[in-house]
Structure 1
Amino acid sequence: MVDHNNSSCDPIWTPHLTTLYCVVLIGGLLGIISILFLLVKMNTRSVTTTAVVNLVVVHSVFLLTVPFRLTYLIKHTWTFGLPFCKFVSAMLHIHMYLTFLFYVVILVIRYLIFFKRKDKVEFYRKLHAVAASTGLWVLVIVIVVPLVVSQYGTYKAYDKQHCFKFHEELDRAYVQVINYMIAIIFIAIAVILLVFQIFIIIPMVRKLRHSLLSHQEFWAQLKNLFFIGVIVICFVPYQFFRIYYLYSVAQSSDCNNNVTFYNEIFLSVTAISCFDLLLFVLGGSHWFKQKIIDLWNCLLCS
């Protein structure tokens, strides 16, 4: 067994992680509460609304695990058992990839609306929206979560009092290959979405120019840019660092290598995506739009 009590393996970034997860928990809860009031007024048959509802569920489940992370960061001892540690640890990864999946769904739907000049893309009936969401969650709960949790942290024996230290799982070649593939595909999709959005918004800016902010179509593209911004800021840095991390861990499994702690920092940053709902509500408010318009007009006059 690896000596997990080695001082060099202590969570040296604990104060930063504690602050970050506290902020994520508060911001995430405010976002969920805020979006619930907005969802009441939204079209329940809309594919975009269905994706947002599922995004709320993903964030909610993840936020339920955050207090346990905070407890460990404060006490430096895990008291909830190793199986639950694996679940909480895996949940951060599951949250990131499911959030990314729903972002992609939302963006693809919005692109279809833009190019086909439609007002919205809807399910034929409300029941179809419920069935689609239920099918997805059955897949996640019955297949994905059990598979991840059952395989996560099984390569070696781990100290049940010290959690979130499963980097030795990456010693296996096939695990490294899978992680490399996931990181590369993730980055490729993010780049494609960003390039696609740039090609849409630049001609629009050139065409509309000074009357830009008075067009609803431009605000719709800004919302797309918002989702891509969250992907680029919160998710992509982790995926880039993940590639380096995989190489580094393959060279040395000794946690004296601070790359393990940097990986934890990059991974924790992905949790900031929980703020998306709060920012989404704020961005859709008339007050926020008016402030942006006033600022834009001020810049044009100066």
Structure 2
Amino acid sequence: HSVLIILYSIDLAGGTLGVIVMSHQLFRRKSQSVMTIIIINLLVLHTFLLLSIPFRLSYYILQEWKFGTFTCRLVSAIIYFHMYTTFSFYVAIIVIRLFRLEFKKCYTTMWVIAVWLLGALVIAPVLLSYYGTSKTYTSSHCFHFQQEIQELRMTIVNYCLVGILVAVCAVLTVIQLSVIYRLAVKYWPDINSHVEFRAQAKSFFFILVMLVCFMPHHVFRVYYIQNYHPDKDHKLLPYNEIFLALTTMCCLDMLCLIAGIAH
């Protein structure tokens, strides 16, 4: 639990600072560009996650869950909702910059609303209705829903999510690196003086976040699913929790945006 406490504490402190400072900067700029709209939505997403982290820290510090079964499932669902919705916005940022797409504000707003409606009206209800409900769990424990993996539908869903995320990350990484290489050759040696190269290099930041934060969890997830039955003593569970905690570190992206690394 010490590792989890450290990871979530860093995430809570750094994420909160990033959200506050970035919100202040966006308020001062009053920009309404496509990137600004996406960043605002990332801020909202991160805020939801950050609000759930104190519940996790309380559980890991006290080693007892005191907030009821529904809250446990809600906090568990938030981390997955945050991860996949953040992933969607990252992909949107990368694709927009990669192909230099131009969207009108109304189209961007409609797309963002569609993402939120999908999450709020489909994904969230499904998670809350089925996640952690097929088995009986003690009210003093939380985040131990590993028995759900035994169900065929959950196994299929997990494999599909892993396949989609890994495939998208792989394709975007190859395309992004090829574009950066082409621009580097084209503009060498004054590559940093060209806006096009800097924009593509900054886009690669979001791919790195996905590779560092999201990819390890999904790769380990496959191993975890395949070895759940032999793992009678639940030795793999702590590692699964650590990799899941690593996904929340993407909240620190706002600090990088503030520093100008990716924006």
Q: TM-score range by the shorter chain?
A: over 0.9
Distance in 2 (alpha carbons) for counterparts of 1:225 and 1:111: 10
Q: Alignment partner of 1:210: what SS? A: coil
Task: Check conservation: 1:167, 1:253, Cα contact below 8 A.
Answer: no
Distance in 1 (alpha carbons) for counterparts of 2:216 and 2:114: 31
Task: Check conservation: 1:47, 1:109, Cα contact below 8 A.
Answer: no
Summarize the Cα distance change of 1:161–1:108 in structure 2 as closer, same or farther, 3 Å threshold.
same
Q: Alignment partner of 2:138: what SS? A: coil
Task: Check conservation: 2:183, 2:197, Cα contact below 8 A.
Answer: yes
Distance in 2 (alpha carbons) for counterparts of 1:152 and 1:69: 17
Distance in 1 (alpha carbons) for counterparts of 2:189 and 2:118: 48
Distance in 2 (alpha carbons) for counterparts of 1:209 and 1:111: 20
Residue in structure 1 matched with residue 161 of structure 2 by the alignment: 182
Task: Check conservation: 2:202, 2:262, Cα contact below 8 A.
Answer: no
Distance in 2 (alpha carbons) for counterparts of 1:36 and 1:124: 20
Query: What is the CA deviation profile of residues 89-132 of structure 1, one whole-angstrom value per residue up to 9, with x for unaligned ones?
Result: 1211111111101001111111221xxxxxx723254xx55444
Distance in 2 (alpha carbons) for counterparts of 1:137 and 1:27: 25
Distance in 2 (alpha carbons) for counterparts of 1:124 and 1:88: 33
Aligned mate of 2:247, from 262, 270, 274: 270
Aligned mate of 2:197, from 193, 215, 218: 218
Gaps of 5+ in 1: 1-13, 114-119, 287-302
Aligned mate of 1:121, from 102, 113, 129: 102
Aligned mate of 2:134, from 127, 152, 155: 155
Residue in structure 2 matched with residue 43 of structure 1 by the alignment: 31
Q: Alignment partner of 1:121: what SS? A: coil
How many Å apart are 1:225 and its aligned residue? 0.7
TM-score (normalised: structure 1): 0.82
How many Å apart are 1:283 and its aligned residue? 2.1
Distance in 1 (alpha carbons) for counterparts of 2:105 and 2:153: 43
Instruction: Map 1:110-259 to 2 at 5 A.
Output: 110-113=97-100, 121-125=102-106, 129-249=108-228, 251-252=229-230, 254=232, 256-259=233-236
Distance in 2 (alpha carbons) for counterparts of 1:159 and 1:267: 22
Q: Which has the larger radius of gyration?
A: 1
How many Å apart are 1:285 and its aligned residue? 9.6
Distance in 1 (alpha carbons) for counterparts of 2:39 and 2:165: 20
- Among the aligned pairs, what percent are the same residue? 37
Q: Alignment partner of 2:190: what SS? A: helix
Task: Check conservation: 1:107, 1:224, Cα contact below 8 A.
Answer: yes
Gaps of 5+ in 2: none
How many Å apart are 1:284 and its aligned residue? 5.2
